[in-house]
A and B are shown apart, each in its own frame.
Chain A
Amino acid sequence: MHPIDLAIVVAYVALITSVGIRFSQRIKTAKDFFLAGRSLTWWVIGLSIIGTNVDTNGYIGASGNAYSIGIAQANFEWIGAIPAMIIAALIFIPLYWRAGVYSIPEYLGLRYNAAVRVVSAAIVVVVSVFAMGIAMWALAVTLQTFIGWPIWLGILVSGTVVGLYSIAGGLAAVAITDSIQVCIMFVCGLIIVGIGISDAGGADSFASKLLAENPTHLSAYLPADHEGYPWHGVILGLGLVLSPAYWVGSQAILQRTLGAKTQWDASAGMMFAALAKTFVPLLIIFPGLLALVMVADIEYPDMALPWVIKNVLPVGVSGLMFVAIIAALQSSIDSSINSTALIITRDIRHVLMKNHNPEADLVIGRMLTLGLLLCAMGIAPFIGDLGGIFNFLQFLLSLFQGPLLALLLLGALTQRATASAGIITLASGVVLAGLLSWVLDMNLLFVAFFSFCYAVVALWTISGFTQPHSQEHLRNLSYSPWRDR
């Protein structure tokens, strides 16, 4: 690595760490730690949401996918995000604010029962720990690739940096550092677009070179018989189920909206994130297309972005881009650690330990943050061997998405859904999703869609035969902007 690039990396690490430690002085209670003392403004929330959302898969994997399938990869940022983000901003964020909850499992617990709360919390925790391990490993591999550090050193250094500001500063530090990280990502993305189009001889020339060998690479959708991303599967599975399940139900994403200083800031933050999300393909799709146009000599698609950094970017900018990748990984790890610590502290400990002491939440939250970080650092070196397990966990999570979305939607928008129907629907919906996947070997996009349709019908029907909560109990737990003002 060139000394100028190395200086940029060192400056970045110093900046992020000092920001995090500065915020540590403001932490007095668990609310300060987990919800930033409800002090975040809309633009910080928006940038932090994008920082949390763009991770390893989003950066390196999406560039590789764009190299293979073209602009269709952008559906994950457009129809696979924007409608759900608008719905989250206008309906679900106001609902969570009215309910006064710290987490999505807490909302599910209040709306249904403690069993739904603990099950949903446990799923999030297990998947998050392994996802953090993956991200930590990817970070170490990136450091090894660019500056030659052994894996263990990369894990130790990156874990220490993330730990310093996450444990000390809580959500406020995480959100502010996320915002800085996203700004760096966008600056780098725009530089790559500028250099790439200039080298290709202009936008028209870029498009004609790309389409000459890859005629479908500027088409938003792929044919219905495409194995991975058939267009009807993308609209039904991604657009109507997986995306809403993520944007209205992900604790890591929504926690910063619960830490907003007003409900308007929370909703506006999600809207601002949607605007930024629209332009995320410039960061993560364009490098893949650029590698194609420049006829990159790479062994497999995921090498597209590293190739662009190494062969296209000048000294200084490549250091900044390297920082952007580290930033993308760090912002996902820090958010996961903070939200997972919150879920264990409140949604598992508070429910299972009847005599818990809420005053101890801050200390326990910080200890859990450290413990989760150490877990992720401990798992990270073995991720290569655990690949099968991680795929299984991802698969497990996908089984819950459809039924959980049905519980959230009907629970939020109607007063009909009952506690008994909720737990029966969750259990049977997961079994159905498993059968569709294992027995019929169905594409996961369609598994999500059909398990969601089943769960909506089952929840609605079973609720007709089971005991509902009182209207008084549901007053702040269901919400319709058309009905409640």
Chain B
Amino acid sequence: MIAFKKVTKSFGARTILNELDLEIPQGKIVFILGMSGTGKSVLLKNIVGLLKPDSGELYVDRFPVHQMSEHEMMDVRKICGMVFQQPALFDNLNVFENVAYGLRRHFELSEEEVSRRVEESLGHVGLKGIEAKQSHELSYGMKKRVSLARTIALKPKILLFDEPTTGLDPISTSRVNQLILDLSNQLGTTSLVVSHDMESALKVADHIVVLDKGHLLTQGTPAEMQESTIPLIQDFLAEVGAP
């Protein structure tokens, strides 16, 4: 479980997360929705320790992330994989080396095991056979899927997605949504997905959280969201033509 307890995060005079209280249940797919600049990505980066809360408490599994050092955070990052908004592939490495990167650093695996897991992960995202390609040879959508493969290769208990379907074609979007569902069903992975994509949220999420100005605006199941009378939720629903 992930728990935010009165977490505040500011950049200069601008408060992004404002005493946020939020609990993410284990094994569920939770979509975080909200307008741009409401702190969705900042929320994810706090979970993996890329940013530190200014105040409040943040727990990931049994780890008190708010008071852990960079070195101690390695244990959290082993169980908590993050797929970034941008592909963030390493330009100087080919696809195989990119996907193998975390496997070699987090775990002590044989080369055979590394190869097997790289192949398996690329298979999950529909990109088998491109191991030797350099990142500049890939389209943006392919880069995003390789980035996803790099994260799921670590088999994390918790997966954090920062706008995973932005810039993807409908088929790739559908594949990524299906992958999130499969990982949750087969491995019991907790998935936390930051997105603007209400259509994907309604199809995939067990639970939807809506942030506004660093606060929790509302949360509930997709069915409950469709019944919501909150103007922001109605705007999101209108975008996808939902009733």
A binds B: no
Which B residues have a C-beta under 8 Å from some C-beta of A? none
Which A residues have a C-beta under 8 Å from some C-beta of B? none
